[in-house]
Amino acid sequence: MDQSKIRNVAIIAHVDHGKTTLVDQLFKQSGMFRDNQQVSERLMDSMDLERERGITITSKNGSYTFGDYWINIIDTPGHADFGGQVERVLRMADGALLLVDAQEGPMPQTYFVLKKALQNNLPVIVVINKIDKPAARCDWVVDQVFDLFVKLNAPDDVLDFPVVYASAKQGFSLLNLEDKIEDGGNMHAISQLIVEHIPAPVGDVKASLQMQVGTIDYSPYLGRMGIGKVVNGTMKINQPIAVARRDGSIKPVRISKIFRFERDEKVAIDEAGVGEIVAIAGMEDVTVGVTFTDVEDPRPLPLITIDPPTISMNFIPNDSPFAGKEGKFVTSRHIEERLQREVLADVALQYEPLTDAVGFKVSGRGELHLSILIEKMRREQYEFQVTRPQVIMKEENGKLLEPYEELTVDVDEQFQGAVIEKLGKLKGTMTEMGTQNGMVRLVFHIPTRGLLGYRSQFMTDTKGMGMMSYVFHEYGPYAGDIINRQSGVLVVKETCVSVAYALFNLQERGKLFLGPGIPLYEGQIIGESARSVDMIVNPAKGKKLTNVRASGSDEAVVLTPPVNMSLEECIAYINDDELVEVTPQSIRLRKKAGVRIRG
């Protein structure tokens, strides 16, 4: 393939600003699909979890043609918890499309991903997306993006960034807002800017082979495959090469298959040259960061540096009375094998065995990062328990430091008082405040500990209409004790099955998390107490039967619908003396074995 006709572009944006939808349109309008071909929505979101949640979790590769140019697209996650993905895949790119919502403007994750792109000296094209929104304010957004570039100390040539306006949902793009949309419009303006402003990949086709693995894919037939960009040299099928591993060792292997990306599919090829992004099969234990290089003249590329984890949780084997009833993989050996596989593909994740108990301390970039791993394991028939998330502290010059987040909140003016009060109690410090059209944008610096479990409280305080997002800011001084949950819980007295009559009477004591007919065990948590202490309850206590019927005593039992908590909400809800039991069929809250109830 002609090296000068290749363009490698990463799409970076805040979560839910339309990256994956934009890629869909670029592919569909490239003419690479047949007219009668069925094309699914959000092509690049291939994981079930991504389609369910509407977010990108793992970076994906695809490509399309524009004229005689071959444009490789790298769709990156927008959530900072998956920033490890962003950091390593930007190595494959020669430029970036920065996607910004025409109403919301730059958000915390926009700051995060743009910072990573500028660190890699990538030229940036700004795409103002969703311009069809009634509340779109494109000029304001462009000004905000410029301010963001200045804040990140972008060089002068990058500050003169090209701007294109688009509606990925409706499939059109414009170089100027005043331009007319003809025949429904198209995405050619974006492709044209990519060709003009993103440089072709540099590298010497005659030099020693160099290709660093940025992501890992898996094929049931070929096993693990390394995906990366050929920086120098060429690679061919059955070519003997060397793999420079992360520990510095060199291992000889032979390439068995080479795949190029066409749209969202892999197509086998015989040879790959400089600038091409390909998937390579042939090394079973390939990991992120290794370099495929020449056997005779091995030249490893610099290792990918990853921001450190900020949160950890303990994954321990299930020891509840219901252990082993629903899961297929239940032992600590099963859990360790699964974690080993995960860290090979996710370099932002770390784990180590616990020293004082059976299980593992798993560290990641945030609650979402770890909860996605837990959900993936659960769907793969694993059964285990997890503890409350703990932030990872560090000590410098005799001072205890903890991670802080930059939190951005958009709320209606009527709710700002409640939000400011709550965040103040959680040790948050307001740094910015702005009002426009009845909406207030607040920016806080707050300890990561303060945000654990805050999202559900925030949604209650704002009647579900607020928006919050955050990104790692820095390590700062320890902020002191933070109380996240004020109330106690309702704890089951003994193994039983819940009964409607008993739950009806328990409603007065607090909020229930489940309904009647559910098998329960001693120590399981079934609700939140209305008081600050825990209560031991009997959810199977039936009505005493007599042969005397009294008027008014046999009314129908009316139960308030229980609070159904998601996995993330359960993880954020528990205290240090509680656990979340995770199985393929159930998510249960419980007290740790041997814990004395505070009631």
Strands 467-477 and 429-436: unpaired
Give residue for tokens 């990366």. 228
Neighbours of 184 (CB within 10 A): 8
Helix, coil or strand: residue 237: coil
Q: Has 16 been labeled as part of a binding site? A: yes
Using CA atoms, how far residue 479 sits from 309, 310, 476, in Å, is 19, 16, 8
Q: Has 318 been labeled as part of a binding site? A: no
Which tokens sit at 392? 């990872």
Q: How far is 422 from 428, CA to CA, in rounded Å?
A: 9
Q: How far is 227 from 265, CA to CA, in rounded Å?
A: 13
Burial of residue 175 (CB within 10 Å: 0-12, 13-18, 19+) is middle
Using CA atoms, how far residue 493 sits from 108, 196, 389, in Å, is 45, 70, 27
Sheet strands (E) in 188-255: 210-219, 223-232, 235-236, 240-244, 250-254
Q: Has 131 been labeled as part of a binding site? A: yes
Cβ-proximal residues to 215 (8 Å cutoff; 6+ apart), any chain: 58, 59, 61, 85, 88, 89, 227, 228, 288, 345
Neighbours of 311 (CB within 10 A): 22
Complete DSSP assignment for 507-538: GGGEEES--SS-EE-TTEEEEEESSSS-EEE-
The DSSP output letter for 553 is S
User: H helices then E strands: how many in the chain?
Assistant: 14, 35
434 closest CA partner among 140, 40, 64: 140
Q: Has 488 been labeled as part of a binding site? A: no
Q: Has 18 been labeled as part of a binding site? A: yes
Whole-angstrom Cα Rg for the chain: 27
Q: Largest Cα–Cα distance of the chain, in whole Å?
A: 98
Q: How far is CA 104 from the centre of its chain?
A: 20
Following CA atoms 137, 139, 141, 143 in sequence, which dihedral angle do they give, to the nearest 10 degrees?
-150
Sheet strands (E) in 162-310: 163-167, 172-174, 210-219, 223-232, 235-236, 240-244, 250-254, 257-262, 265-269, 271-272, 277-281, 291-293
Long-range pairs, 46-55, Cβ under 8 A, ≥24: 46/264, 48/379, 49/372, 49/375, 49/376, 54/16, 55/15, 55/16, 55/79
What residue numbers does the annotated binding site for GTP cover? 16-21, 129-132
Report the binding-site residues.
16-21, 129-132
